[in-house]
Amino acid sequence: MNFEEFNLDPSIMAGVKALGYTTPTPIQVQAIPPIMQGRDIIGLAQTGTGKTAAFVLPLMQHLLKLPRGRIGAAIISPTRELAEQTCEAIDELGQKTGLKSISVYGGVSMDQQIRRLRSGVEVVVACPGRLLDHLWKSTIDLSHLEVLVIDEADRMFDMGFLPDIKSILKCLIKPHQTLLFSATMPADIRRLVQETLHNPVTVQIGHSAPVASVSHTLYPVKQHLKTQLIIAILRCYDTDSVLVFTRTKHRADRLAMQLKREGFKATALHGDLAQNRRQAALDDFRDESIKILVATDIAARGLDVLSISHVINFDMPENTDAYTHRIGRTGRIDQRGDALTFVTSADAAVVREIETVLKAPLERRTLKGFNYSAPAPEIAPARVQRPLIRRRVSGQGAGRN
């Protein structure tokens, strides 16, 4: 199948060509025709499958038929980074359409967003909290909305956004087409689908197993040796861009600093950083001036950097879904990737879960020449340790994301 068969407007096809897309991905083949027919869609697909273009292309086709200067489509995203990326995809694919989009999220000036909204846009890509703020202040007009996209619904549920989504849905009075994308289908999302979507078409790419173009390896290691092991691995493996996941913001900061001290071009990405620092970290990672990004789960959501060669789970993800999301950052379209996961004895249950989903045992590897039996650092006597503990508590840096 090729893109011509979708009969997209020539102005949209110009964007497809400019981005160098020649063949639609499986999710695009399955999702674009029913979306163009106006059907509601449940898209079960991970990032890296081409799902953004799967909804952006038919959505733009629809918007071209509508009057300009009013919001015809809204896309709800779990994170600012994903909102920005989606907006960029719209700008690039729609470069010849004249359609205007805006990203709307918290942590930045509301006034600036209001000015942009007043100047007339056709698509808004928004995080739930800030979108609600605008709705409650009547600074956004969704009364002409024709298409609503709920992107990465499972992640929004994980982040506690479900009540916000429901409040947003209550504000949408006009009947509209709803497209819901999710890598997994937890019970609450299933319920949301039943309550919200009308006779939806389900489009599923694979199932929620991690992408097949990724090799999965486990590195059993004691907790206290993880930092030395990652340094040794980064020194001896041929890596391009590496995304490292830690369990907490504090661990992300600390590991990024330790890697920098060892001479690696590394930085941290997590939700405590100001928006401009997060964006700078992402930009540096994209243009490869930073080679190692140490991130928490939520901060790395939707991260679209095509050249990620390795994902390293410095800390085991909480469950298979989180593993799938993390691993989805590598092995993207037409590329291969490697996923390395550090496991301690406490991680056995999640490992079993992942092996069940992958339907195969994961390969366990050890790094040649690495001293796995190095002792844990001695614990200092309580008198010396006290000020350290106090500093940690006042820093409050160990929360998630």
Q: Which is nearer to ligand AMP, 63 or 75 (CB)?
A: 75
Question: In the bound complex, what is the minimum distance in angstroms from residue 22's beta carbon to ligand AMP?
Answer: 7
Question: In the bound complex, what is the minimum distance in angstroms from residue 247's beta carbon to ligand AMP?
Answer: 25
Query: Is residue 332 a contact residue for ligand AMP (CB under 6 A)?
Result: yes
Q: Which is nearer to ligand AMP, 52 or 177 (CB)?
A: 52
Query: Is residue 164 a contact residue for ligand AMP (CB under 6 A)?
Result: no
Residue of 30, 52, 61, 177 that binds ligand AMP (CB under 6 A): 52
- DSSP states along 132-158: HHHHHTT-S--TT--EEEE-SHHHHHH
Q: Are 108 and 117 in contact, with CB atoms under 8 Å apart?
A: no
- DSSP states along 76-108: E-SSHHHHHHHHHHHHHHTTTTT--EEEE-TTS
Query: Is residue 314 a contact residue for ligand AMP (CB under 6 A)?
Result: no
Q: Which is nearer to ligand AMP, 49 or 97 (CB)?
A: 49
Residue of 47, 61, 208, 267 that binds ligand AMP (CB under 6 A): 47
Which residue stretches of 197-300 are H helix? 226-236, 249-261, 275-286
Give the number of residues in contact with ligand AMP, rule: CB under 6 A.
17
Binding mask 3-32 for ligand AMP (x = CB under 6 A): ----------------x-x-xxx--x----
Q: Which is nearer to ligand AMP, 19 or 389 (CB)?
A: 19
Q: How far is CA 390 from the centre of its chain?
A: 35
Query: Is residue 50 a contact residue for ligand AMP (CB under 6 A)?
Result: yes
Q: How many other CB atoms are there within 10 angstroms of residue 95's CB atom?
A: 15
In degrees, rounded to 5, the angle at the alpha carbon of residue 389 between the alpha carbons of residues 386 and 392 is: 155
Query: Is residue 51 a contact residue for ligand AMP (CB under 6 A)?
Result: yes
Query: Is residue 337 a contact residue for ligand AMP (CB under 6 A)?
Result: no
Question: In the bound complex, what is the minimum distance in angstroms from residue 47's beta carbon to ligand AMP?
Answer: 4
Q: Which is nearer to ligand AMP, 52 or 97 (CB)?
A: 52
Q: Are 290 and 267 in contact, with CB atoms under 8 Å apart?
A: yes
Please, is 144 exposed, middle or buried when counting C-beta atoms within 10 Å of its C-beta (0-12, 13-18, 19+)?
A: middle
Q: Enumerate residues 252-311 that contact ligand AMP by CB under 6 A.
A: 304, 306
Question: In the bound complex, what is the minimum distance in angstroms from residue 34's beta carbon to ligand AMP?
Answer: 18
Q: How many other CB atoms are there within 10 angstroms of residue 14's CB atom?
A: 16
Q: Which is nearer to ligand AMP, 23 or 119 (CB)?
A: 23
Query: Among candidates 275, 42, 49, which has minimal Cα distance to 181?
Result: 42
Q: How many other CB atoms are there within 10 angstroms of residue 107's CB atom?
A: 14
Q: Can you read off the two tokens belonging to residue 200?
A: 């939806």
Give residues in contact with ligand AMP (CB under 6 A). Answer: 19, 21, 23-25, 28, 47-53, 304, 306, 332-333
